[in-house]
Amino acid sequence: MEIPSKYEPNRVEGHWYSYWKEHDFFTSKPDDREPYTIVIPPPNVTGVLHMGHMLNNTIQDVLIRRARLMGKNACWVPGADHAAIATEAKVVAKLKDEGIEKSDLTREEFLKHVWDWTHEYGGVIFKQLERLGCSLDWKRKKFTMDDDMSASVIKVFVDLYEKGLIYRGYRMVNWDPQAKTTLSDEEVIYEERQGTLYYLEYAIADSDEKVTIATTRPETILGDTAVCINPKDERYQHLKGKKAIVPICNRVVPIIEDEYVDIEFGTGCLKVTPAHDENDKNLGDKHVLDVVDIFNEDASLNSYGLHYEGKDRFVVRKEIAKELEELGFLVKTEQHTNKVGTSERTKAVIEPRLSDQWFLKMEKLAKPALEGVLKTNDIKLHPKKFENTYRHWMENIRDWNISRQLWWGQQIPAYYYGDGKEDFVVAETKEQALEKVKSRNPNIQESDLRQDPDVVDTWFSAWLWPITVFGGILDPDNEEISYYYPTSDLITGPDILFFWVARMIVSGYEYRGKRPFENVYLTGLVRDKQRRKMSKSLGNSPDALQLIEDFGADGVRVGLLLSSPAGNDLLFDEALCQQGKNFANKIWNAFRLVKGWEVADLPQPEAAKTGIDWYAAKFNQTLAEIEDHFSKYRISDALMAIYKLVWDDFCSWLLEIVKPAYQQPIDRATFNAVIHWFEENLKLLHPFMPFLTEEVWQHIAKRTPEQALIIANWPQVAEFEASLINDFDFAAEVISGIRTIRKEKNIAQKEPLELSVLNSGSVSPNMDAIMTKLGNVSTINTVEAPMEGALSFRVKSNEYFIPMSGAIDIEAEIKKINEELNYTRGFLQSVQKKLNNERFVNNAPEKVVAIEKKKAADAEAKIETLEKSLASLS
Q: What single string gives the DSSP state of each residue in 545-591?
A: HHHHHHH-HHHHHHHHHTT--TTSPEE--HHHHHHHHHHHHHHHHHH
DSSP string, 399-434: -EE-EES-SSSPBP-EEE-SSSTT-EEE-SSHHHHH
Distance, CA of 637 to CA of 643 (rounded, Å): 10
Single out the residue of 518, 529, 462, 459 nearest to residue 490, CA to CA: 518
Task: Give the residue ranges of DSSP H helices in 70-209.
Answer: 84-97, 107-121, 124-132, 147-162
Cα separation values, 726 from 347, 650, 721, 766, Å: 59, 17, 9, 12
Stretch among 119-123, 470-474, 509-513 having the lowest mean pLDDT: 119-123
Taking each helix axis from N to C terminus, what angle separates 553-561 and 544-551, rounded to the nearest 10 degrees? 110
| 176 pLDDT higher than 60 | yes
Ordered strands of the 777-783 beta sheet: 777-783, 753-758, 798-803, 790-795
> Does the pLDDT value for residue 459 go beyond 70?
yes
Q: Which residue has the higher pLDDT, 472 or 796?
A: 472
Query: For residue 5, is pLDDT > 90?
Result: no
| Omega of the bond leading into 845 within 30 degrees of 0 (cis) | no
Q: Give the type of residue at 626.
A: I
Question: What is the maximal distance between C-alpha atoms in the chain?
Answer: 121
Peptide linkage before 274 cis (omega within 30 of 0): no
Backbone dihedral angles phi then psi of residue 703, each to the nearest 5 degrees? -125, 150
User: Rounded to whole angstroms, how far apart are CA atoms 367 and 377?
Assistant: 14
Higher pLDDT, 66 or 766: 66
If one counts every other C-beta atom within 10 angstroms of the C-beta of residue 1, the result is 8
**What is the pLDDT at residue 1?**
62
How far apart are the C-alpha atoms of 48 and 125, rounded to whole Å?
5
Residue 339: other Cβ atoms inside 10 A: 8
If we measure between CA atoms, which residue out of 155, 144, 143 comes closest to residue 473?
Answer: 155
Average pLDDT over residues 537-553: 87
| Higher pLDDT pick, 134 / 574 | 134
805, pLDDT greater than 70: no
With 70 as the cut, is the pLDDT of residue 745 above it? yes
Question: Which of 480, 486, 483 is CA-nearest to residue 515?
Answer: 486
Calculate mean pLDDT across residues 445-468: 95
pLDDT, one tens digit per residue, over 706-720 is 999 999 999 999 999
Alpha carbons 668 and 673: distance in angstroms, whole number: 8
Residues sharing a CB contact under 8 Å with residue 870, sequence separation 6 or more, in sequence order? 814, 817, 818, 821
Sign of the Cα pseudo-torsion (265, 270, 276, 280, in order): positive
DSSP H/E element including 383? none
User: Which residues, in sequence order, are bridge partners of residue 73?
Assistant: 35
Going by pLDDT thresholds of 50, 70 and 90, the confidence category of residue 440 is: confident
> Which residues, listed in sequence order, are joined to residue 490 by a DSSP beta bridge?
520
Q: What is the pLDDT of residue 56?
A: 93
Outline where DSSP puts E strands in 798-862.
798-803
How many angstroms from the chain centroid is the CA of residue 111?
A: 33
- Residue 807 has a pLDDT of 56
Helix (H) or strand (E) holding 101: none
For the ranges 26-30, 753-757, 762-766, the one whose mean pLDDT is highest: 26-30
Dist CA 272 CA 223 (whole Å): 8
Q: Is residue 389 within 8 Å of residue 527, measured between CB atoms? A: no
- Helices and strands: H and E segment counts in the chain: 28, 31
Cβ atoms 221, 215 nearer than 8 A = yes
Q: What is the pLDDT of residue 808?
A: 66
Mean pLDDT across the chain, nearest whole number? 92
Cα–Cα distance, 16 to 223 (Å, whole number): 66
Q: What is the DSSP string of 627-675?
A: HHHHHTT-HHHHHHHHHHIIIIIIIIIIHHHHPPPTT--EEHHHHHHHH
User: Which residue, among 679, 675, 677, has the nearest Cα to 712 in the 3D structure?
Assistant: 679
Q: Mean pLDDT across the stretch 482-504?
A: 94
With vertex at residue 177, the alpha carbon angle to CA 171 and CA 178, rounded to the nearest 5 degrees, is 145
Q: For position 321, what pLDDT does the model report?
A: 95
pLDDT class of 51 with cuts at 50, 70, 90: confident
Give 592-649 pLDDT, tens digit per residue.
999 999 999 999 999 999 999 999 999 999 999 999 999 999 999 999 999 999 999 9
Please, which residues have CB within 8 angstroms of residue 275's CB and are 6 or more apart in sequence? 223, 281, 291, 292, 293, 294, 295, 353, 354
